[in-house]
Structure 1
């Protein structure tokens, strides 16, 4: 039984509002608890939070409808299972203005930049509909490889998660909860920065969609494999959460007994509008191929 209530840590009315996080208060709450440190856990559980950042909240520059409720469910789950979750890792989507998936990278014949959610194909480039402002050969090579590899087509996104801006930081209520967990369980939060290659989109946390320079994050894979159970949630379901789960499952496809212990919280993630049908089919394939388990946070007993 914790001495600190959920509402003392998380103000659900402030989710997505850029509330200032007072870590001094959070740490004081954590130091009042008497919970066994995580290094004593025999059954090791990792919670992996994908891109739970301000720009993916509902009023963010790339807001995902439903994100606020997702954060509420996630933080309640972490609080209710604080003594069973061994460690927490989070990914941080981190970009610059000039990257291949942002409008500034491309122009049409009138010199206009594409609107957000524009899809650019190799056929568009060949017909002169869109052309890269710079890195022309590499940009065309990237789009062609996406299609060749069967990856998601190049989608132009609003400027989001720009390094050093408030939109790139962890959502405040989620941040408070994971730092509270860190204090109580005496463990370090693993923070994984992704998406800094200007010539590649990086939805998943393990590797980019396609890149000539950025490699698979073997160290992160080895870290994840140390755990008996991995629980995943975040934003957006259709892109960064799905691709992260897919990359992890594919890497460990020779150990289906382990991949069956990957749990994805259905009520802790939401889809970008317009991708629902594709998203549903993709998750079904992961479940069928690797035994990934899609669950409600309230049904998962640790």
Structure 2
């Protein structure tokens, strides 16, 4: 049963330059997602709508030596492809024997396919890591925004904001070796996140286990979590699946909505927009998790941006109060604009009058 204090929460997954189309403001884009510029337009609309009690933003954050990048391997890899023994047999000397083999086995078990090799992307403190400009500009105007970093642990992929695809500790247990210690001295609170992008890039989060605290915060009290961002086939899908699994496993009362036109899948070479093989697999896993979360799939649905924007404030948690506040703000802005226009018109008229007088005087001379 939904609580009277239920919230609407916007969860924006990895809205970073490297996942967006190159343009005048974004010259990096090493892993551009087709249609991402249109997704960004809709994300801006969602942020600007004022319909959300909280906004949470995840940031894919890597080093050159991440397992999905060439720096992890002595031999390197092709720009876009899949793991295979013949290409990647020569790993770094500091990686235990059989690590990649076990990693790939567990990856297949969880995601249904070999792990992927990517062009270097979202390297911390680079332009590619920054949030896409139009989205960041709108976030800067908003309150109650939290930023969460993920993917800093070089030994595993972390598509989901909540957990790693494969927990390195599970691999080290299988190969009977001690897992490298995770830095527990970091000031970063992975449940609360941080208040700004600047704080995020100076934070460290090497944790790979399920972020139960953040999930409980988002899905507690009958909250509805609206998920958007990039890419739908990977980080968005895995985040949604973690949320749906939590509803089932821990009896959480929240709901999950995928904003379908504010997220797009990764396309393999030769694929066209709207036909992603990777998304087909992701959708099957989402459907399975949604069915498990509730018998009639009532806890998960997809919606378009316009449908969400058309919802009246009064029908959303805390909406009446925010509607009143927004109307007062709009009224104030209109009044300020009207006053400003009057002043500009008055100043312009004075200048025109002064110019006319000066012209007449010069004419008499």
**TM range, smaller chain:** 0.7 to 0.9
Change (3 A) 1:118 1:224: same
- Among residues 253, 269, 273, which one is paired with 2:267 in the alignment? 273
Unaligned ranges ≥5, structure 1: 1-40
Change (3 A) 1:56 1:150: closer
Paired residues in the alignment total 246
1:55 aligns with 2:24: no
Deviation per CA, 1:196-217: give whole Å up to 9, x if none: 1111000001110112353221
* Cα displacement (A) at 1:104: 2.6
Change (3 A) 1:79 1:155: same
> In structure 2, how many angstroms separate the alpha carbons of the residues matched to 1:128 and 1:65?
28
* Cα displacement (A) at 1:171: 1.2
Partner residue of 1:165?
A: 126
* Cα displacement (A) at 1:224: 1.1
- Among residues 57, 67, 72, which one is paired with 1:105 in the alignment? 72
Partner residue of 2:102?
A: 141
User: Which protein has greater RCO, CA pairs closer than 8 Å, 6+ apart?
Assistant: 1
Give 1:15-30 correspondences, 5 Å limit: none
Q: Are 1:232 and 1:262, in contact at CA under 8 Å, matched by a contact in 2? A: yes
> In structure 2, how many angstroms separate the alpha carbons of the residues matched to 1:181 and 1:129?
45
> In structure 1, how many angstroms separate the alpha carbons of the residues matched to 2:263 and 2:20?
11
> In structure 2, how many angstroms separate the alpha carbons of the residues matched to 1:256 and 1:222?
10
Change (3 A) 1:157 1:128: closer
> In structure 2, how many angstroms separate the alpha carbons of the residues matched to 1:284 and 1:90?
24
* Cα displacement (A) at 1:167: 0.9
TM-score (norm 2): 0.62
Change (3 A) 1:167 1:76: same
Give 1:89-104 correspondences, 5 Å limit: 89-104=56-71
Partner residue of 1:238?
A: 233
1:222 aligns with 2:185: no
> In structure 1, how many angstroms separate the alpha carbons of the residues matched to 2:264 and 2:111?
23
1:71 aligns with 2:30: no
> In structure 2, how many angstroms separate the alpha carbons of the residues matched to 1:163 and 1:71?
21
* Cα displacement (A) at 1:225: 2.5
Structure (1 or 2) with the larger CA radius of gyration: 2
**Secondary structure of the structure 2 residue equivalent to 1:264:** strand
Q: 53-62 or 233-242: which moved more?
A: 53-62
Deviation per CA, 1:28-65: give whole Å up to 9, x if none: xxxxxxxxxxxxx9441111000001111022111101
Structure with the largest fraction of helix: 2
Unaligned ranges ≥5, structure 2: 23-28, 170-207, 269-277, 317-365
* Cα displacement (A) at 1:255: 6.5
RMSD across aligned C-alpha pairs, in angstroms?
A: 2.3
